[in-house]
Amino acid sequence: MASSSEIHIDATETDPAVPAQIAIRAVHQRLRIGLAVFGESEPIAGSQNVAHAALVDFCTGELRRHLAATDQVLFAAASGAPETRLLVRALRTTTAALDAHIDALAATDTTTSAMAITQVIEAVLAVHLAAEETVLLPALAALPGADLPALVTDMLTLLAGAELDHSPVLDVREIPHGHRHPRIFARYGRLGPGEGFVLVNNHDPKPLHREFEATHPGTHTWEYLESGPEIWRVRIGRAAVDA
């Protein structure tokens, strides 16, 4: 029986997922406000005015860091479950669109064009963040094996400029079967190009391999180091150059 300190009621302040979601919404709000402030700045004469330069710095800096951290932590965990895989695919599509618009913003040299691109970024970002808040975060909170408070802590760590733990071995034998894949995909999300970790399992993880083929085709590596009969060890890595 859980102790009184471990008991919580879902969707209330006693649920640890609730403050985690509040923390992410606060990060989102800072992005919205920051983009709106820069986007509404009065232009200064010149092809590359101060407001435009500040806007580019904000988008290529803080906004891109947020997109990268979200993908590395939240999307990575959600991509390992059938319930959320298509959602992640959709969110990664809007992330790619935002990246393309940020590139266009950085390349333009006119205020009129910059303002138009900024309006597009604001519109796409509004939809993207709303989907994260109303669909992704509740889905992760309910997903077996996905520890939303821990994931949010990892994301805030990345946004603060620190690095995450990169343990070289992930032993999932003591984790219930239905909870393993989100943990594994979350660990994969931390890898840089050419990096990897060793998965230790008590059965041949063929279903997991199929999920990697579906979600990360051509961008992951899979090498059996030990193949039973009691222990399987697989080195899972991120390809040095994504296809």
pTM of the model as a whole: 0.74
- Inter-axis angle of helices 17-39 and 111-131, to 10 degrees? 170
pLDDT attached to residue 1: 37
- Residue range 44-95, pLDDT digits in tens: 454 457 778 888 999 999 999 999 999 989 998 888 777 888 999 999 999 9
- Residue range 174-229, pLDDT digits in tens: 988 877 888 888 888 778 788 899 999 999 999 999 988 887 888 899 999 999 89
Tell me the residue type at 205.
Answer: P
User: In 49-81, which residue ranges form alpha helices assigned H by DSSP?
Assistant: 50-58, 64-70, 76-78
- Residue range 100-112, pLDDT digits in tens: 999 999 999 887 8
Place of tokens 């990897």: 196
Q: What share of the chain is helix, strand, coil (3-state, %, to 5)?
A: 60, 10, 30
In the chain, the percentage of residues whose pLDDT exceeds 90 is: 51
pLDDT attached to residue 186: 82
Q: How distant, in Å, are the alpha carbons of 34, 60, 133, 157, 192 from that of 25?
A: 14, 21, 7, 16, 27
Beta strand segments in 108-205, E: 169-171, 196-201
pLDDT attached to residue 20: 92
